């Protein structure tokens, strides 16, 4: 089990942000970040500010600093220390994964890691899958994806890059699973107890909403 000191990772000592290695509940105290108290739930893989950027400014742990789709699927997504014991190597790999330009880059990096360090443990596989989901979802104009054991939702930007016909077809073809909850939220009602269920369902929805003929 991770200790509170191991909940975050800093890619560079000079950075004003850290990355949540796992989901961090509201109210958690980050010991190694100067006993800063988390004021809102932080999803795994999310970048958060823990230092005052300017003199006199309070850290904003609940403010996401990374651009792109926020993803919370309630799954540990990290490179475990027992898989990559060297801290510097872990930091480098985290940075390379986060910097992947597209899914091909991500696949090549995954192959490289397996070749260098062995088969990926489940949290590392989840990290790659979630990063791939983010690469798909961000250009579609999806602001946030949430998925848990009982369902989830997709929150769209006001000007999402999605063909409305695809969205309507998805809802009409599977009305018991999908419905709109306001103009910018697609709600998913389905039992997804296992991590692979959540990840697979999210990828399926993105594939149904995207495609070569989505609006560019």
CATH assignment at residue 5: 2.30.130
Percent of the chain at pLDDT > 90 equals 53
- Confidence class for position 2, pLDDT limits 50, 70, 90: very low
In the predicted model, is pLDDT for residue 166 greater than 90?
yes
50 and 145 belong to one structural domain: no
For range 39-68, the mean pLDDT: 52
Closest CA to 46 of 161, 108, 131, 154: 131
H-type alpha helices, 62-154: 87-98, 103-117, 122-137
Query: Domain end: 24, 42, 66, which one?
Result: 66
Residue 127 to residue 18: CA distance in whole angstroms: 16
- Whether 58 and 88 map to the same domain: the answer is no
pLDDT at 47 over 90: no
CATH number of 207's domain: 3.90.1150.50
| pLDDT score of 30 | 72
Q: What is the mean pLDDT of the chain?
A: 81
Residue where a domain stops, chosen among 22, 44, 66 = 66
pLDDT of residue 36: 67
**Statement to judge: residues 72 and 62 lie in one domain:** no
Kind and range of the H or E run holding 145:
strand 142-148
Among 13, 45, 66, residue at a domain's last position: 66
Same domain, 5 and 62: yes
Question: Do residue 122 and residue 183 come from a single domain?
Answer: yes
This prediction's pTM: 0.69
Give the number of residues written for the chain. Answer: 216
| Residue 17: band (very low, low, confident or very high) from pLDDT cuts 50, 70, 90 | low
Q: Is 138 in the same domain as 161?
A: yes
Q: Which domain holds residue 205?
A: 68-216
Domain identity same for 84 and 1: no
Q: How many domains does the chain have?
A: 2
Handedness of CA 86, 89, 95, 101 (dihedral sign): negative
| Same domain membership, residue 203 and residue 191 | yes
């Amino acid at each position: 089990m991770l200790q509170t000191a191991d909940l975050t990772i800093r890619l560079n000592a000079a950075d004003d942000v850290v990355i949540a290695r796992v989901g961090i509940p509201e109210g958690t105290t980050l010991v190694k970040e100067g006993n800063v108290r988390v004021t809102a739930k932080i999803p795994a893989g999310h970048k958060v500010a823990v230092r005052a950027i300017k003199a006199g400014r309070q850290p904003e742990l609940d403010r996401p600093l990374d651009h792109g789709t926020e993803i919370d699927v309630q799954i540990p997504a990290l490179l475990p220390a027992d898989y990559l014991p060297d801290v510097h190597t872990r930091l480098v790999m985290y940075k390379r994964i986060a910097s992947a330009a597209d899914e091909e880059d991500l696949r090549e990096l995954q192959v490289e890691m397996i070749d260098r360090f062995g088969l990926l443990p489940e949290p590392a596989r989840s990290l790659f899958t979630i990063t791939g989901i983010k690469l798909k979802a961000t250009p579609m104009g999806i602001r946030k994806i949430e998925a848990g054991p009982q369902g989830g939702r997709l929150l769209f930007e006001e000007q999402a890059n999605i063909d409305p016909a695809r969205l309507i077809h998805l809802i009409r073809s599977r009305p018991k699973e999908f419905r709109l909850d306001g103009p910018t939220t697609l709600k998913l009602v389905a039992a997804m107890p296992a991590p692979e269920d959540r990840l697979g369902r999210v990828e399926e929805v993105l594939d149904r909403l995207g495609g070569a003929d989505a609006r560019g």
